[in-house]
Structure 1
Amino acid sequence: MGPGPLRRNRLYEQVVHQLLTWAASSGLGAGDRLPAERELAASLGVSRATLAQALVALEVTGVVAVRHGDGTVLLTAPRPDSVLAALDARREDLGAVIEAREALEVRLAALAARRRTDEDLAAIDTALAGMAADVEAGGRGVAGDEEFHAAVTAAGHSPLLARFMAEIADRIRDSRIESLAQEGRPHRSLEGHRAIAEAIRSGDPDAAAAAMAAHIHLVSDVPLLGGG
């Protein structure tokens, strides 16, 4: 038996609550796989898009892992109320994270254009190739996205800025997951990365900074968890 239909008020939050309640009543625990998204959406009486929002909410709070080709796996089984409280806190934090990325990563891209080595360019290319392969296979490219930004940070050769980036890495990862869960976003993000990489390769600090700023503006549009 699946979970029952929901009222349509703050729908994705209701889906989160219902999924966790149903998982607990079904005896599911860490390591167990949830039913397929199509089946879950039908059981809840919601669209797959709404279900996807709920799964992203659970992913960024560390409750599930969404694995391309392997479905959605429970990592833990917290109380629904604690998850919803964590989501509220993350919504309030998102703007600050974007501001920090604009301050740090735009500068790092410019520095990378001036300071990159052949090894740095190779690391950037490897990250791009990994993300492209994942996206073309139907994945979201989260790991490749993370590796790309790490490679650009390393290419900037600024230990202090790199330390600042490390301090907000977990929060950036949450916004990355939310952003790349949106339809069409992985391909657009990949193109943004390619523009940044080309400017860095060309040794053009202004172009690299502009490309990174445009990219962060794109990924800052993460409304999945922001509404009622």
Structure 2
Amino acid sequence: MPVEWQPVRQSRTHELVLRSIEERVFAGELRAGDRLPPERELAPVLGVSRSALREALRVLETVGVLAAQPGRGPDAGARIVRNPDDALGRLLRLHFALGSYSLQDVLEARVVLERSSVEAAARHAPAEDLDEAARLVSGMAEPGIGVDAFNDLDTRFHVLLARSSGNALTSTLTSAVRESVRPLILRALEAAEDWPATAQALNAEHRSLLALVREGEGGPAAELVERHIRGLHGTLVEGPVTPEESPGKRP
């Protein structure tokens, strides 16, 4: 029986550079805080052009594992970092905007993540995190607070509770999922017929949620956060993101 040959996939040069750097990270040869050699030294060692190397470094910067500092001196060059939150949030926002995930998908993901977060926070949250959450709740109760400011504090409140769970991955995922619907939440809040009453009702739930976490009542806190999320998500409508609502702009 004759052998069936399949075409060999040709990798672009920058993909080979990425693979080489990834292999060193996986092997533990590169860790957070390590600096890469200067481009003029690294490119010939890898046998690639400096343009191909720069393309690979830009990809790593985008996914949050590299920070590039232009210029000269000891702080210049590319350094391995751990910054998954912004990178993952950006990626998820783009895929959500492109229709990779439905609004219902995002809703259910938020419910699962935040139920788990507040249950764990009720057991593990440091006092300073809960004090910071209380300040955010107070900020959302300020008379005359606008929709933009409220949305920003609201996002920070939910992400802070997730961080207080003690699970860094849960915190990162919660932040990414919450940020993915930030423009839609902003749009829904702007459409509220009585914004002061809406803000007051939402923040009353924040206050109750924080009290339950402080008291170590993880189960009731999980039930409340689910009702809170589903209640707000019920007002969201999928649609194109305008330039003013684009992921690159934080309200």
- TM-score normalised by structure 2 residue count: 0.50
Q: CA deviation at 1:163?
A: 2.2
| Counterpart mapping for 1:69-88 below 5 A | none
Q: Partner residue of 2:49?
A: none
CA contact (8 A) 2:121 2:162 kept: yes
1:144 maps to which of 153, 158, 176 = 153
CA contact (8 A) 2:130 2:214 kept: yes
1:97 matched to 2:106? The reply is yes
Q: Partner residue of 2:125?
A: 116
Q: Partner residue of 2:228?
A: 215
CA contact (8 A) 1:179 1:222 kept: yes
Taking the aligned partners of 2:127 and 2:226, their CA distance within structure 1 comes to: 24
Q: CA deviation at 1:224?
A: 4.8
Larger radius of gyration: 2
Q: Partner residue of 1:177?
A: 186
CA contact (8 A) 1:121 1:201 kept: yes
Root-mean-square deviation (Å): 2.5
Taking the aligned partners of 2:145 and 2:175, their CA distance within structure 1 comes to: 29
Taking the aligned partners of 2:96 and 2:222, their CA distance within structure 1 comes to: 31
Structure 1 residues 100, 132: CA separation in 2 closer, same or farther (over 3 Å shift)?
same
CA contact (8 A) 1:178 1:222 kept: no
Taking the aligned partners of 2:223 and 2:233, their CA distance within structure 1 comes to: 15
* Helix, strand or coil at the partner of 1:166: helix
1:195 maps to which of 192, 201, 208 = 208
* Unaligned stretches of 5+ residues in structure 2: 1-94, 240-251
Residue deviations 1:193-212 (CA, integer Å, cap 9, x gap): 11111100111101110110
Taking the aligned partners of 1:199 and 1:166, their CA distance within structure 2 comes to: 21
Taking the aligned partners of 1:87 and 1:109, their CA distance within structure 2 comes to: 25
Question: Percent of pairs identical after alignment?
Answer: 24
Residue deviations 1:168-218 (CA, integer Å, cap 9, x gap): 243131232133222343222111111111100111101110110110111
* Helix, strand or coil at the partner of 2:193: coil
- Bigger share in helix: 1
Structure 1 residues 180, 91: CA separation in 2 closer, same or farther (over 3 Å shift)?
farther
Residue deviations 1:44-73 (CA, integer Å, cap 9, x gap): xxxxxxxxxxxxxxxxxxxxxxxxxxxxxx
Residue deviations 1:111-130 (CA, integer Å, cap 9, x gap): 11111111111111111111
**Range moving further from structure 2, 88-97 or 159-168:** 88-97
Taking the aligned partners of 1:132 and 1:213, their CA distance within structure 2 comes to: 22
Q: Partner residue of 2:217?
A: 204
2:116 maps to which of 102, 107, 129 = 107
Taking the aligned partners of 1:108 and 1:179, their CA distance within structure 2 comes to: 25
- Structure 2 counterpart of 1:150, one-letter code: V
- Structure 2 counterpart of 1:116, one-letter code: A
Taking the aligned partners of 1:176 and 1:221, their CA distance within structure 2 comes to: 10
Taking the aligned partners of 1:93 and 1:179, their CA distance within structure 2 comes to: 17
* Unaligned stretches of 5+ residues in structure 1: 1-85
Structure 1 residues 207, 95: CA separation in 2 closer, same or farther (over 3 Å shift)?
same
- TM-score normalised by structure 1 residue count: 0.55
- Structure 1 counterpart of 2:157, one-letter code: F
